[in-house]
Structure formats: structure tokens, C-alpha cells
Amino acid sequence: MGRAFEFRKERKMKRWAAMSKIFSRLNKDIIIAIKDGGNADPETNSTLRAVLQNCKAANMPKDNIARAIKKATDKDTSNYKEVTFEGYGPHGVAVFVETATDNNNRTVASIRSDFSHNGGNLGTTGNVEFLFNRVCFFNVKGEGQDAEDLELELIDYGAEEIEVDGDTIIVTAPFGSFGGLQKKLEEMNLEIEESGFDRYPTTTSELNAEQTLEVEKLIEKLEENDDVQSVFHTMSSSSD
């Protein structure tokens, strides 16, 4: 299986363990999609359409979705902005953090504190980003679909990896291919169960069990931060 698939599957298992955090992340995704897209109509706002598919996959209650949409369309609502942070954790492990914030000063202070109090150092923009490949992915309902045939259909739209995970086919492509792939999959009447963006490391650092725990302490602290959407790293535990 492809490296992007393996890293994303590992993170998904950890990420979906805390549903309250998932709902909070999706809530912000809805607001950002509507603010950036200019409307709350999923038929014309493709980004919002993709977010709502993810809400369905996470079993997010309809009332939660409705509140997020209402909040996004309220003129008095503060705009969330996507801000990224880069740095190094213990033992030289690169860490890339994606946040959605309505108060940048608060977020900068809290992220810096998380790094400094857990053996890491917050760096500057571009410090570690080059160590990660940014990709988009689509989880497509695989019933009645042939992965090889699907790959031939999608290769001209940027698809690089086609993986089968049970009844789901996972399509991975470069970041910039998201819009074209989304449109093609919809034209093919394929059911998109989940979609989004991911980063996976181009190189990894193998650590022993004790070192791994030190890095995981930083990662867990960052993931507990209310402003944090996703955390990516270059750690590879020796127990993997």
C-alpha cells in the first residue's frame, strides 16, 4: 500500500477516537467553507459540499450542522482563518500544525507554549513544510467498482494512488487536483463518503519507545488545543 494511505489511516484512527474534537473541527470547516465560498448552498459551493460529506461520515448530528451554518451566515460572527505553525519536537522530529482561529494572537501564544513546555521549539514559516507532501484524498463507496478501472478513469485528473480498504476505495492525488477530481467523481455518480487534505512525511525519524512517548506528549498536547485542526509529524516508532 502507498505511504500516503498508511500514514492517513494511522492518523484517522487516532483522530476519530474523540468525536467532540471532530465535531469542533467540522464546525469550523463549515464556517470557513461558507465564508470563503460566499454562500451556504452546497450545490454551488463545492468546498461546503465536501465538508458536509465529511460531517455525514462522522455522524455529526443535523442540529450541529444547522447551528454551524447559521453561525457562518451571521454577520456578527468572527471569521475563522486557517493558520499553520511549524517547528521541531523532541529528538529532531518535525511537526506541522494546522489551525483555524478567530484570534491569531491567542493561537500563536498557546502553540508556542505547547512546543516550549514539551521539549520542542516553534519555528518560522517554511521551517519544516518542505518535509511533507500535501495531498488531497477521496474515500469513495467501492461497491460495484473496480479499482483498476477507476484508476484509468481518474489518472488524467491527477489521481496518483488508488487503494482498497474494505468496501471503500481511497483515491489520493496532489493538493491542487482536488477540484478536478471532485467534479469527475460526481460526474461518474460515485458516492464520496469523505474527502479532504492531508500531509505525509517524505522522510521519517525512527525512535525507540521512550523517545516516542516524549514526542507523543507534545503531539497530544497540540491536539488538545481548541484551535488546532490537524497535527502532522515525521516520527516513525521503532515498534511500527
> What ranges do the domains of the chain cover?
3-73, 82-127+204-237, 131-200
Please tell me what DSSP assigns to residue 79. P
Contact status, residue 83 vs residue 104, Cβ threshold 8 Å? yes
Angle between the N-to-C axes of helices 62-73 and 46-57, in degrees from 0 to 180, rounded to the nearest 10: 150
69-73, 95-99, 100-104: least confident range? 69-73
Contact status, residue 181 vs residue 192, Cβ threshold 8 Å? no
Mean residue pLDDT across the chain: 89
Q: Does domain 131-200 have CATH number 3.30.70.980?
A: yes
SS3 17: coil
Interatomic CA distance for residues 200 and 203, integer angstroms: 9
- CATH fold of 82-127+204-237 reads Alpha-Beta Plaits (3.30.70)
SS3 142: coil
Contact status, residue 185 vs residue 213, Cβ threshold 8 Å? no
- pLDDT at position 176 over 70: yes
Interatomic CA distance for residues 181 and 172, integer angstroms: 10
Contact status, residue 138 vs residue 179, Cβ threshold 8 Å? no
- pLDDT at position 7 over 90: no
Residue 52 has a pLDDT of 95
Residue 34 has a pLDDT of 93
- pLDDT at position 19 over 80: no
- pLDDT at position 114 over 60: yes
62-95 tens-digit pLDDT: 999 999 999 888 876 668 899 999 999 999 999 9
Percent of the chain exceeding pLDDT 70 equals: 89
In degrees rounded to 5, what are phi and psi of residue 122?
-75, 130
C-alpha closest to that of 112 among 131, 85, 132, 91:
85
- Summarize the confidence of residues 85-113 as an average pLDDT: 97
11-20, 21-30, 142-151, 191-200: least confident range? 11-20
Contact status, residue 119 vs residue 213, Cβ threshold 8 Å? no
First to last CA, the chain: 15
Residue 119 has a pLDDT of 97
Task: Choose which CATH entry (2.30.42.10, 2.70.150.10, 3.40.50.1970, 1.10.10.200) describes domain 3-73.
Answer: 1.10.10.200
125-161 tens-digit pLDDT: 999 999 999 999 999 998 888 889 999 999 999 999 9
Q: Which residue did the predictor score with more confidence, 142 or 105?
A: 105
pTM of structure: 0.84
- 239 pLDDT tier (thresholds 50, 70, 90): very low
Residue 227 has a pLDDT of 95
